[in-house]
Amino acid sequence: MSHGPSASGGAIVAAPPTDAHHDVPYEPVFVGTARAELDTILSRYPTKQAALLPALWMIQDARGWISPAAMEEVASVLAITPAYVKGVVSFYTMYHQHPVGRHFIQVCTTTPCNVCGAEDVVKAFLEHTGCADLGLTSADGRFTVIEVECLGACGFATPVMINNAFVDAVTPDAVPRIVSELA
C-alpha cells in the first residue's frame, strides 16, 4: 500500500485533482486501435475484471495519470463500478492519481541501496531538479522525485527509475548530467 512519496517519513504533499474542469469534455482512451488492443487483452482472461491492471496501464501511458473520469471510463468498459476501480488504483504505488512531472524520478532507498549511499542520491536529485520536496513537482513541470522501495536491482546500487527507464549505479556526482539530459 502506498502511504506517500517519502520512504523516510518526509512531507507527503499531493496536488488536488485537476480533472474537475467540467467545461473540458473527457476524451475516452478506449477508442480505435486502443479499443482493439484492449479487446486482444480481454481475450487472454476468463473474466473482464482481469484486464483491469492492463487497462489502467493503457490509461496511464496515454494520459500520464489516472483521473477520476478515466476511472469511470475503465469501469464502464469492464462492467465494474468506479468505486471498485478506485479501490484497485489506490492499492498500487505505480498508478498516479494526480498529474506528475514530465520526468518521474524514483530513487531506491531501501536498506541494500541505503548502505551504499542512496540517501545522498535523493538529495542530489532534489537539489538539481529544483523540486522543493519529495513528491512535489518542480515549478517548470519537468520533474517529480520520490523515494521508492527496493527496485529489484540491489547489486546495481543506486538504481533510479526515470519514467519507464532504469539507470543503474547512480552516484550523487552523476546526477547533474542525468538531470541536464532530461528535456
Partner 1 sequence: MGYPHPSHPRETPVLSRYFGDPGARTLDGWRQRGGYDALQQALATDPQELQTIVKDSGLRGRGGAGFPTGMKWSFMKPDGKTHYLCCNADESEPGTFKDREIMRWTPHGLVEGVALAAHAIYAETAYIYIRGEFTEPYAYVTRAVEDAYAAGILGANAMGSGRRVDVHVHRGAGAYICGEETALMNSLEGRRGNPRIKPPFPAVAGLFGKPTTINNVETLTTVPYIIKNGADWYKQFGRPDNPKSIGTKLFSVCGNISRPGNYEVALGFPMGEFLNELCGGPLPGREIKAVIPGGSSVPILTREEAEAAIMDYEGMVAAGTMLGSGGVIVFDDRQDMVRQIARLTRFYAHESCAQCSQCREGTAWTTRIMERIRDGEGTAEDLDTLLAIAENMSGKTICVLSDSCATPVVSGLRKFRHEFEARIAANRSMVTVTGASRAPAA
Binding site for partner 1 (CB under 8 A): 1-3, 7-9, 44, 46-47, 49-54, 56-57, 78, 80, 87-88, 91-95, 106, 109-112, 114-116, 148-157, 161, 164-166
Largest CA distance in the chain: 51
For the CB of residue 48, give the shortest distance to partner 1 in the complex, in Å: 8
Task: Tell how strand 143-148 and strand 160-162 pair up.
Answer: unpaired
CB of 150 to partner 1, least distance (A): 4
113 vs 179, beta carbon nearer ligand FES: 113
Please tell me whether residue 42 binds ligand FES under the rule CB under 6 A.
no
Q: Find all residues with CB under 8 Å of 94, minimum gap 6, and list them.
A: none
H-helix or E-strand spanning residue 103: strand 103-108
Q: In what order do the strands lie in the sheet with 165-167?
A: 143-148, 103-108, 160-162, 165-167
Where on the chain is the footprint of ligand FES (CB under 6 A)? 108, 110, 112-113, 150-154, 159
